[in-house]
Structure 1
Amino acid sequence: MACLFWDREKYQLIDLTLPIQPFMPDIVGHVKMAKWNHEQGARLNSVPTGIDPIDFPPGPPFYEYHSQAWEELTLTTHIGTHLDAPWHFFPTTENGKMKAKTIDEVPLEWCIGNGVVLDVRHVGPGGLITEDDVKEALKKINYKIQPWDIVLIQTGWDKKWGTKEYFENHPGMSREATLYLIEQGVKVMGIDAFGFDRAFKVMGEEYKRTGDKNVLWPAHNVGREKEYLHLERLANLDKIPKPTGFTVVVFPIKIEGASAGWVRAVAIVEKE
């Protein structure tokens, strides 16, 4: 039976995902990667099979290609483009009425939907994205949020990927902006910055200056009151040709009992 959904002549895929790479220390854990080439893979595979690596196909003189290359990674679930589960925010949600879902408990139906890009690139470094910023972005594209839309917040911060500033000075969502989207029926939202809230350093400095604990992860803490999920470290939102009228797919890797899962985020766009 032919696939009723996919038509490569009609649609194009836009990758919204940053790579996982051990390029520099990360605030939430340095990626460690060990690589085995084809010859090393042959030696590893020879142990469980009980076969001399030289006997692996395709045979001499291609000894170094006798088996498969492997990689081994040590990393957190919050490295790279990922989806934060409600469990990441707090053990319960809906003001204690529900156990918070871990990433393997998140329904896949929540992770595919109509995409909406909200351009808030005017918000400066370390800035707080307000409810008014969200409403103004919607007004500019003449769109009303629909239940189950997947809203993508465009800060443009993905262009700083690989720099110190990417981690230390990005803008983030406010409590009010996050609640507003949830109240419109949004279950999944995301941002093209390191985190959904402002940078750790920015929040920390404001807390030390004001003593107000409400400045610490206000968007994350909304998850204690309302069940929702958010994506962090998206990329290439500027490559989506229109802010609406496309489909977003953000299926997370199924990790038992985890607070997040790595995602290959993709926008499915109809070709013009």
Structure 2
Amino acid sequence: MHSQYRKIKYNSLEISYKLQYKNRKNKENKKILHHKEIMIKDLKIPYEFEKIVIIKTGWFNNWAEDEYFTDNFHISKEIAKLLIESNINGIAIDSPNVDKYGKSTIHKLFLKNDIWIVENLTNLDKLTENSYKSYFIPLNINTEASFIRAFVKSNKV
């Protein structure tokens, strides 16, 4: 197989549409904004996943909006199942919740399968490569959740 056809592993997935909450005039964005459930068709699915998957939605740009925590993008059951079947260790997203507001189905699926969850990241638009060394360092406290220090390092040498 030629090197140009190498199979690439990803850990940074971006929703295939570029959208900002304030761009409600575009008809396609209106449909997407109404539903907000991230489906497989919305992502470029790689041949193989890395152990940590980062989903970039651009939702962090809406931090000051009233709907930030209640009307955000969330992961569909089909994506959750795909990631579980891919044996990932962790999921990170720039939305405040992997679930639809008021629900916990996706949280339970991930946690039942020993997949940790990082939510509410910011500045994911600065991730321009497909793969990074990703670090999510929690506080050293005995709780079910914690603030973290998140950073990535380029895989380029």
Q: Is the shorter-chain TM-score for this pair beyond 0.5, marking a shared fold?
A: yes
- Give the 3 Å change call, closer, same or farther, for CA 238–224 of structure 1 in structure 2: closer
For residues 50-61 of structure 1, the aligned pairs below 5 Å read none
Q: 1:219-259: CA deviations, max 9, x gaps? A: 11214642211111011111012122x21100111211x11
Q: Distance in 2 between matches of 1:126 and 1:254?
A: 37
Structure 1: gaps of 5 or more residues? 1-113, 201-215
Is this contact kept in 1: 2:10–2:48, CA < 8 A?
A: no
Unaligned runs of 5+ in 2: 1-8, 18-31
Residues 1:118 and 2:23 aligned together:
no
Distance in 1 separating the partners of 2:35 and 2:141: 32
Separation (CA, whole Å) in 1 of partners of 2:144 and 2:99: 17
Structure 1 vs Structure 2 CA RMSD:
2.3
Say how many residue pairs are matched: 135
Q: Does 1:138 align with 2:24?
A: no
Counterpart code for 2:89: K
Pairwise CA distance, 1:157? 0.3
Distance between the aligned counterparts of 2:65 and 2:82, measured in 1? 32
Conserved 8 A contact 1:125-1:171:
no
What's the CA shift string for 1:184-216, capped at 9, x where partnerless? 11010011011111233xxxxxxxxxxxxxxx3
Structure possessing the higher radius of gyration over alpha carbons: 1
TM-score with structure 2 length normalisation? 0.74
Per the alignment, residue 76 of structure 2 pairs with 174
TM norm structure 1: 0.45
1:199 to 92, 95, 101: 101
For 1:121 and 1:168, locate their aligned partners in 2 and report how far apart those are by CA, in whole Å. Answer: 22
The Cα of 1:175 is off from its aligned counterpart by 2.0
SS at match of 1:162: coil
Question: Between the two proteins, what is the percent identity of the paired residues?
Answer: 26
8 Å contact from structure 2 (residues 80, 110) kept in 1? no
Deviations 1:114-157 (A, max 9, x none): 971111163535511124434xx125xxx4214xx210111100
User: Which has the larger helix fraction?
Assistant: 1
Which residue of 2 is the match for residue 259 of structure 1?
Answer: 144
